[in-house]
Structure 1
Amino acid sequence: MSRPLIGVSAAAEELPTAFGPKDCTKLNTAYTNAIYAAGGQPVILPVTLDPPADLLDRIDGLMLTGGGDLDPELYGEPPDPTVYGVRRDRDAFEVALYQEAMRRELPVLAICRGMQLVNVLRGGNLIQELETEHDHWQTNPSHEHSHHITTTPGSRLAEIFGSDLDVAPVNSYHHQGLRNLGSGLVVTAMCGDVIEAVEATDADILAVQWHPEHMAPHDHRQFALFSAFVARAADRISTIA
Structure 2
Amino acid sequence: MSRPVIGLSAYREQAAWGVWHAQADLLNSLYARSVEAAGGIPVLLPPQAEDGAGVVERLDGLIISGGSDVEPVRYGAESDPRTQAPRPDRDAWELALLDRAAALGTPVLGICRGLQVMAVHAGGTLQQHLPDVVGHDEHSPGGDAFGWVPVATAERSLVRTLVGADLQVNCHHHQSVAVHPGLVATAHAADGTVEALEDPDRPFWLGVQWHPEHGDDHGLFRGLVERGLKS
Q: Secondary structure at the residue paired with 1:15?
A: strand
What letter corresponds to residue 189 of structure 1 in structure 2?
Answer: A
2:140 is matched with which residue? 137
* Change in CA separation of 1:168 and 1:41 when aligned onto 2, cut-off 3 Å: same
* Change in CA separation of 1:10 and 1:189 when aligned onto 2, cut-off 3 Å: same
1:232 is matched with which residue? 227
CA deviation after TM superposition for structure 1 residue 138, in Å: 4.2
CA distance in 1, matches of 2:10, 2:53: 18
What letter corresponds to residue 68 of structure 1 in structure 2?
Answer: S
Question: What is the TM-score normalised by the length of structure 1?
Answer: 0.87
* Change in CA separation of 1:53 and 1:117 when aligned onto 2, cut-off 3 Å: closer
Provide the identity percentage: 39
Q: Secondary structure at the residue paired with 2:42?
A: strand
CA distance in 2, matches of 1:198, 1:53: 23
Unaligned runs of 5+ in 1: 237-241
Runs of 4+ in 1 over 2 A off after TM superposition: 14-20, 49-54, 138-142
User: How many matched pairs?
Assistant: 225
* Change in CA separation of 1:145 and 1:169 when aligned onto 2, cut-off 3 Å: farther
Q: After superposition, where does 1:51-130 map in structure 2 within 5 Å?
A: 51-52=51-52, 54-130=54-130
CA distance in 1, matches of 2:174, 2:143: 16
* Change in CA separation of 1:86 and 1:141 when aligned onto 2, cut-off 3 Å: closer
Question: What is the TM-score normalised by the length of structure 2?
Answer: 0.91
CA deviation after TM superposition for structure 1 residue 19, in Å: 5.8
CA distance in 2, matches of 1:224, 1:196: 16
**Structure 1, residues 178-222: CA drift from partner, whole Å, max 9, x if none?**
1112x220011111221011111122211100000011x3xxxx3
**Structure 1, residues 65-118: CA drift from partner, whole Å, max 9, x if none?**
000011100001111111114210111111111100111100000000010000
**Kept after mapping to 1: 8 A contact 2:54/2:100:** no
1:239 is matched with which residue? none
